[in-house]
């Protein structure tokens, strides 16, 4: 049985300990995402699931605080602490969902992309570039991108 080819490493600035800013385990990274989301003014509740060892984060949002007419919305965050981490920040409200992802996807060049549901089951994809290098930076960057997208709806 052959092993699949490894994806190339991304070049990230080293931390003080010489490691990548993404070299933390999933629970610790998702803990940092929770801390960042708790400070965000549109987030009303956030928690890691399952409670003992997080594999995802679920947040409840109040998009009306941004002037967006949706009563309820959620944000789901997943993180795979690989050599080049894979993650998803996926927003959902009634009748609309979208997300920012870093993971392989045959619909775009590279791993970083935005996806938005355009029909009953279909998504539209576009390649993006993330500026943030840590989980908290990415959280705030993606929340700002979400605010902008909702402002155009």
Question: Model pTM?
Answer: 0.82
Answer yes or no: is pLDDT of 15 > 70: no
Higher pLDDT, 123 or 24: 123
Average pLDDT over residues 102-113: 94
| pLDDT at residue 153 in the model | 82
Higher pLDDT, 27 or 22: 27
Average pLDDT, the chain: 85
| pLDDT at residue 104 in the model | 93
| pLDDT at residue 17 in the model | 35
Residues with Cβ < 8 Å from 12, sequence gap 6 or more?
A: 20, 21, 22, 133
| pLDDT at residue 24 in the model | 52
Model confidence over 46-97: pLDDT tens digits? 999 988 888 999 999 999 999 999 988 999 999 998 888 899 999 999 999 9
To the nearest whole percent, how much of the chain has pLDDT over 90? 69
For the chain, what are the domain ranges? 26-151
| pLDDT at residue 5 in the model | 36
Is residue 9 classed exposed, middle or buried when 0-12, 13-18 and 19+ CB atoms within 10 A define those classes?
exposed
């Amino acid at each position: 049985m052959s092993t699949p080819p490894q994806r190339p490493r991304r070049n990230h600035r080293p931390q003080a300990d010489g490691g990548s800013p993404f070299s933390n385990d999933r629970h610790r990274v998702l803990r940092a995402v929770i801390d960042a989301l708790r400070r965000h003014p549109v987030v009303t509740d956030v928690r890691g699931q399952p409670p003992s060892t997080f594999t995802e984060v679920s947040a409840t949002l109040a998009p009306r605080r941004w002037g967006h007419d949706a009563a309820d919305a959620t944000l789901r965050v997943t993180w795979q602490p690989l050599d080049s981490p894979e993650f998803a920040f996926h927003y959902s409200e009634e009748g609309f969902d979208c997300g920012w992802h870093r993971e392989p996807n045959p619909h775009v060049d590279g791993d970083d992309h935005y996806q938005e549901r355009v029909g009953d089951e279909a998504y539209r994809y576009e390649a993006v570039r993330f500026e943030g290098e840590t989980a908290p930076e990415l959280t705030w960057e993606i929340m700002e991108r979400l605010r902008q997208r909702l402002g155009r709806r």
